[in-house]
Amino acid sequence: MIDFGIKEALQLLGVSSINKGTSTGTQWYQGGSEIISHSPVDGALIAKVTTTTPQEYDKVIATAQEAFVSWRMLPAPKRGEIVRQFGEKLRKYKEPLGKLVSYEMGKSYQEGLGEVQEMIDICDFAVGLSRQLHGLTMHSERPGHRMYEQYHPLGIVGIISAFNFPVAVWSWNTALAWICGDVCVWKPSEKTPLCGIACQNIIAEVIKDNNLPEGISCLINGDYQVGEWMTNDNRVPLISATGSTRMGKTVAQAVAARLGKSLLELGGNNAIIVTPSADIKMTVIGAVFGAVGTAGQRCTSTRRLIIHESIYDQVKEALVAAYGQLRIGNPLDQNNHVGPLIDTAAVGMYETALNKVVEEGGKLLVEGGLLTGEGYESGCYVKPAIAEAENHFQIVQHETFAPILYLLKYSGELENAIELQNGVVQGLSSAIMTTNLREAERFLSHGGSDCGIANVNIGTSGAEIGGAFGGEKETGGGRESGSDAWKIYMRRQTNTINYTADLPLAQGIKFDL
């Protein structure tokens, strides 16, 4: 049963019961087999999407190549004006799109709206950036010469995205890529294809309003094989891939084999260090939101709490009490804190992880388990769990995309906690709860956290678009969104201009004829 105004939202977004899944902008292609999108909220079949055929893929890439030739010649601030209009459309469609994100992916309606807000924010950021895209100037060693560098567009940016941020990740990439003069081909997750259709319909309005050519914003659909067409394709100079580390390792090798560029945003295993001086109330709020928000399906979800032994029992008791108050259920009902996992396969991985932590010697403080009965018919709702564990456990080292929080104890100095925090293969987000300035600075120093994101007195999740987002080690090293992340979408060119009648060579070399 589809309720909560989802039908109206789908209608507003132009999503029908069977959707063509391949588009070059305003034009859509028939496609092959169908992906069926079921909602994890209530198990209902929402709609179907046809997958891209190899012939259609070729047509899409050829159209994108053609569009690039004219799009790159449009002055960047004019491209920014297109992105500004896109941001306006997103404001108009914020509620229905937020609702679809919630219903197709399973995050709360508030988080769905928050995701669309992120899209709006990155558009605003990109509009300002379209008047910048700065290069440096430098002094030449040769008299009467000028040297500077400039950034030029790359061409086609292939975007492969994960299910858990089904719309925002696309816009982080596209808004920047477009103002940089690139054109985009997006393959959304096969678990959330309708979000892709809705976004494409929104940008198609802007393309139509401005009479822009087909090929600037393209959509393809299918599983990993359709993604592989792009990663192996020389016509796609940059692949921006968001998803599991397993996927990233395959994508990185395919792209490197053809010496393409890749931007990888992969798995995390994020920890909060809780020091003796921590504000316990803030710690509990930050840790619970970080661990159970989006049902633990954020790349920045809090997976490990590293607590000093002197306050360990106090924090543990406060957490267990807080978990007792969590309401689990339909994410479109704003009274609930925790929604479903994406599908029953994810539930299986959650159950395996809980068994494993006990097998390895851990102890469950808050038992998890699958919820059944009224309101839980989709089979995707699980109870958030807390386990006492040790950092070296195999399961603790692994990112389980579910609401499982591991409590780890440290004793002695902060260095011991930092060693545990850094002692995993992933390096995305990290945080410290402390009121001690020395500890905070030590954690942020070059001897501290080895992650791409390091926070003080806030949790691990919930980044703002103004900063560069991404992580180190097996998180892939890529950076998206704010700061100078735009540079990956461009190629750098160094220019030297001689404004004299002589031709002096660099390094004093003489070449007389």
- Closer CB to ligand NAD, residue 409 or residue 487? 487
Q: Is 217 exposed, middle or buried (0-12, 13-18, 19+ CB in 10 A)?
A: buried
β-pairing, 45-50 vs 18-19, is parallel
C-alpha count within 13 angstroms, C-beta hemisphere, residue 461:
24
Q: Which is nearer to ligand NAD, 283 or 455 (CB)?
A: 455
Of residues 171-190, those binding ligand NAD (CB under 6 A): 187, 189-190
Clarify whether 419 is annotated catalytic. no
CB of 460 vs ligand NAD, minimal distance in Å: 12
Instruction: By CB under 6 A, name the one of 133, 183, 204, 251 that touches ligand NAD.
Output: 251
* Residue at shortest CB range from ligand NAD: 227
Which residues touch 135 (CB under 8 Å, ≥6 apart)?
148, 149, 150, 151, 492
What residues from 369 to 408 belong to the interface with ligand NAD (CB under 6 A)?
Answer: 399, 401
Contact between 275 and 434 under an 8 Å Cβ cutoff? The reply is yes
Pairing of strands 261-265, 238-242: parallel
Under the binding rule (CB under 6 A), the answer on residue 265 touching ligand NAD is yes
Question: Which C-beta is closer to ligand NAD: that of 268 or that of 340?
Answer: 268
Q: How many CB atoms lie within 10 A of CB 498?
A: 14
State how far the Cα of 92 lies from the Cα of 89, in Å rounded to an integer. 5
Select which of 265, 439, 474, 480 is catalytic: 265
Q: What minimum distance in Å lies between the beta carbon of 1 and ligand NAD?
A: 27
| Interaction of residue 223 with ligand NAD, rule CB under 6 A | yes
- Quickly count: other Cβ atoms within 10 Å of residue 140's Cβ: 16
Tokens, residue 66: 């053609």
Q: Which of 163, 186, 289, 350 binds ligand NAD (CB under 6 A)?
A: 163
Q: Cβ of residue 366: shortest distance to ligand NAD, in angstroms?
A: 23
Of these, 31, 106, 268, 286, which contacts ligand NAD (CB under 6 A)? 268
Give, in order, the Cα–Cα distances in Å from 165 to each of 158, 258, 291, 334. 17, 29, 16, 19
Q: In angstroms, give the least distance from the CB of 252 to ligand NAD.
A: 10
- Asked whether position 21 contacts ligand NAD by CB under 6 A, the answer is no
Structural element, H or E, at residue 439: helix 437-444
> Is the CB of residue 266 less than 8 Å from the CB of residue 244?
yes
Alpha-carbon torsion (63, 68, 69, 75), positive or negative: positive
- Residue 424: name the closest of 390, 470, 460 by CA: 390
**Interface stretch with ligand NAD, choices 75-83, 236-244, 277-285, 350-358 (CB under 6 A):** 236-244
Q: Which stretch binds ligand NAD (CB under 6 A): 50-58, 239-247, 353-361, 499-507?
A: 239-247
Kindly identify the residues of this chain, within the stretch 416-445, that bind ligand NAD according to CB under 6 A: 428
Length of the chain: 513
Which residues are identified as catalytic?
Answer: 265
What is the binding site for ligand NAD (CB under 6 A)? 160-165, 187, 189-190, 223-224, 227-228, 231, 242-244, 247, 250-251, 265-268, 299, 399, 401, 428, 475
